[in-house]
Structure 1
């Protein structure tokens, strides 16, 4: 989801949080305390929270025109990447702008993929750092690993590897020691900000400027090799191909009517994936795009046990993110924007994108 310049993400990123004492009340009870309103004769605390959420609006990203992505040349056969991972059953490669886009916008589908025993290879393109540096980005990465642990039902350690790709990019990969069918790969490019102007600490530049040619290249915030637009596209093509996917999931692309008001990084990543997937043999109908911020304008479609589970996973992530942390399910649902997004998940096929 990324950015932190809206009021709902206020907080001191340097603060050290004491371990949380887990609530004795079940998360499912807390969810329904925050959202159940039907049949109430008078407004109670939970209903008041729900009413306030309905009145509050989540953030919207600045709309900026984006240059068309230059297609990656099709090469067959492609050389085996150092990032290659052995397929372990049906494989999904998921490419997202920020660490939490998947658990906010693509759950409960994401949890279903993990529960099914299928293989999931996740890639996060930006560090989601919001100009706060590598330490904060690593907190978010720890949060998403904890969320995956929650979904897979294990807290075993994760191995960390640095991989230099054929494209010249350097990525960091995390793999659970007890579950090689899952992996998380991060590029750690600078966050582009809700304004699409980046942050001063990272040169006021992000994916939008890179694609539009107003900056020649971006340097990852962990000081990896710089990536120009063509190298970034080739890097994503290489990582998708290395996962041997049957399906790909990602953010809604800039060309879609559903991208209006979304985070600019989301739109950039969706457009990049849509442009490069055909070059590595992924058919258009095999790619699924998830609506981001604008999903708040769609009807609620995640309820009951599915909502309880989704909020539980998000709360697990948020416990590691000092900016969006929430200690109970009802507190997570009360966050402007997040409360609306958690109650919704909208997947779109290529034919449903309403391309402009």
Structure 2
């Protein structure tokens, strides 16, 4: 029977059976973590809140969490995860929920991957079962010292650059159940397929910002780095967020911020899991033991990171080695390159070194406070120094020094500075290593602050030139804090009735608000697009707006701070003269 099941699943995967998300009117969340307790320790109580709110929740565990142990151990941990989700789904009263799980194909072509769905709930689990990387990313002897950290960096070393005997470059990894083999690019593609199949409006992972060797588990970071790349390729409107792991208590203890019933419920989920993990001591959840895992029960911290603005930029360069290594490859969301996948990096022409440059340009100012550089992964071509020049945005140009950009192991070189508006970011490469044959970058990421203050739109009174109330597309849907709309949930957007150019949306407050940025989300469909508009404020000032991103992704409009009691967005031009209506998926108004 087992063999027949595996054959059936294998054939379904080869045929590419699509596995769509179930009916999820409240919303859909996908969590992607490294081990079977990461979501329980580090994403709770948010996880419990989402389950109880009626959201569809799917968690993907990338590693087997095997710790180098035999099959019985990692399978028991999977049972522990199921026990925890059963506990989190138990009703407050009445008959208890039974531990009944349905197993189906995840619908990833050419892969044997199952989805485990808890019956009579909206939760499901996926286990990819790659080898656990051990505490510092060196891997375990039973799995040939392979690890996600080594797959990500392409090296045979752990986070401290220590190599285990007999190991070298890691090109691929086999799952501990021997059913799947992945290169880094293939793993990212599989995760993207899982995301696309499920269509989450919330995509969550671990710490995608912190560096390796910051005391968090390397598996946590590597899964999060990979998901940061996947996030850049997932085009459905959604929110992406990460959660801190061990660093909530190492090297310093952050304040406890999980209290009351949240702490009780989180502890119950962990208590359901604990008997299935023989590597955890019996007193792992003892609050009297300051060194126990209980310290993670009392804390939950999200990663302090803004969106990767590079995805919305246009990339140009001093030169390129060809179309397969164009400047745009430095903002494709995949931190790879030669000798692995040379089509995933920007490389200048042969012989190019000092004096080369890469520039990102936006049509409107972006608020920026951090740039991350990832050098080409080969051992020869390396940036030794440079300068980041930021310009535009109504302020004088500024320059930030760049030191040695680490290469070989995929580590990130982060340049931080005081936040400022800019329409261009240019990396001028000043010196390179003696062995450099063709300078370039695997990836550049540009970030702003995680938020820009209070979203005043949520407390505004909204009016519009017209609104399609018969289809639940009223003006109020533009300030419901949900970026959605047709061809998804059309009730999550504002749409006019026959309106085109000349349509408007107005937000008003009973007391004046300080504002310095408006973020506009066009309707999600790619037919109705705003090509130009104007923001007018109660103080008599106005700001011109160019075309909005056509897929519902944010179009930020930054301007000097002003005190206003209302703001009006007028649509001046649309893409199609024959479009039946115009509108917005969302408008957000921020202040300092």
Same fold (TM over 0.5): yes
Further displaced range: 155-164 or 136-145: 155-164
Report the alpha carbon displacement of residue 84 of structure 1 after superposing the two structures with TM: 3.2
Consecutive unaligned residues of structure 1, counting only runs of 5 or more, are 1-78
Moved >6 Å (runs of 4+): 352-355
CA distance in 2: counterparts of 1:335 and 1:172, whole angstroms? 38
**Distance change in 2, residues 1:112/1:258 (3 Å):** farther
SS at match of 2:182: coil
Q: Deviations over 1:16-59 (max 9, x none)?
A: xxxxxxxxxxxxxxxxxxxxxxxxxxxxxxxxxxxxxxxxxxxx
Is the Cα–Cα contact under 8 Å of residues 284 and 292 in structure 2 kept in the other structure? no
Is the Cα–Cα contact under 8 Å of residues 259 and 267 in structure 1 kept in the other structure? no
SS at match of 2:113: strand
Q: Report the equivalent of 2:349.
A: none
CA distance in 2: counterparts of 1:333 and 1:258, whole angstroms? 31
Is the Cα–Cα contact under 8 Å of residues 207 and 220 in structure 2 kept in the other structure? yes
Is the Cα–Cα contact under 8 Å of residues 52 and 89 in structure 2 kept in the other structure? yes
1:205 partnered with 2:146: yes
Indicate the RMSD between aligned Cα atoms, in angstroms.
2.4
Q: Report the equivalent of 1:155.
A: 98
Q: How does 1:264-343 map to 2 (within 5 A)?
A: 264-282=218-236, 286-296=239-249, 297-324=253-280, 326=282, 331=286, 334=289, 336-343=291-298
Report the alpha carbon displacement of residue 328 of structure 1 after superposing the two structures with TM: 9.0
Q: Deviations over 1:147-193 (max 9, x none)?
A: 11111002231122354612x332232111222x2110110000011
CA distance in 1: counterparts of 2:258 and 2:233, whole angstroms? 35
Is the Cα–Cα contact under 8 Å of residues 287 and 295 in structure 2 kept in the other structure? no
1:196 partnered with 2:137: yes
Q: How does 1:217-256 map to 2 (within 5 A)?
A: 217-253=172-208, 255-256=209-210
**Distance change in 2, residues 1:328/1:127 (3 Å):** closer
* Structure with the bigger percentage of helix: 1
CA distance in 1: counterparts of 2:101 and 2:287, whole angstroms? 26
1:106 partnered with 2:43: yes
Q: Report the equivalent of 1:172.
A: 114
SS at match of 1:317: helix
Give the TM-score normalised by structure 2: 0.44
Further displaced range: 222-231 or 319-328: 319-328
Is the Cα–Cα contact under 8 Å of residues 315 and 325 in structure 1 kept in the other structure? no
CA distance in 2: counterparts of 1:224 and 1:335, whole angstroms? 41
Is the Cα–Cα contact under 8 Å of residues 162 and 171 in structure 1 kept in the other structure? yes
Report the alpha carbon displacement of residue 132 of structure 1 after superposing the two structures with TM: 0.4
Q: Report the equivalent of 2:22.
A: 86
Report the alpha carbon displacement of residue 250 of structure 1 after superposing the two structures with TM: 0.5
CA distance in 2: counterparts of 1:216 and 1:306, whole angstroms? 43
CA distance in 1: counterparts of 2:71 and 2:288, whole angstroms? 28
Is the Cα–Cα contact under 8 Å of residues 252 and 258 in structure 1 kept in the other structure? no
Report the alpha carbon displacement of residue 310 of structure 1 after superposing the two structures with TM: 1.1
SS at match of 2:174: coil
**Distance change in 2, residues 1:116/1:194 (3 Å):** same
Report the alpha carbon displacement of residue 80 of structure 1 after superposing the two structures with TM: 7.2
Q: Deviations over 1:88-143 (max 9, x none)?
A: 22000110011110010011100000011110011000000001022211101101
Q: How many residues align?
A: 273
**Distance change in 2, residues 1:117/1:269 (3 Å):** same
**Distance change in 2, residues 1:174/1:152 (3 Å):** same
Report the alpha carbon displacement of residue 349 of structure 1 after superposing the two structures with TM: 5.3
CA distance in 2: counterparts of 1:186 and 1:84, whole angstroms? 18
* Structure with the bigger percentage of strand: 2
**Distance change in 2, residues 1:82/1:342 (3 Å):** same
Q: Report the equivalent of 2:65.
A: 128
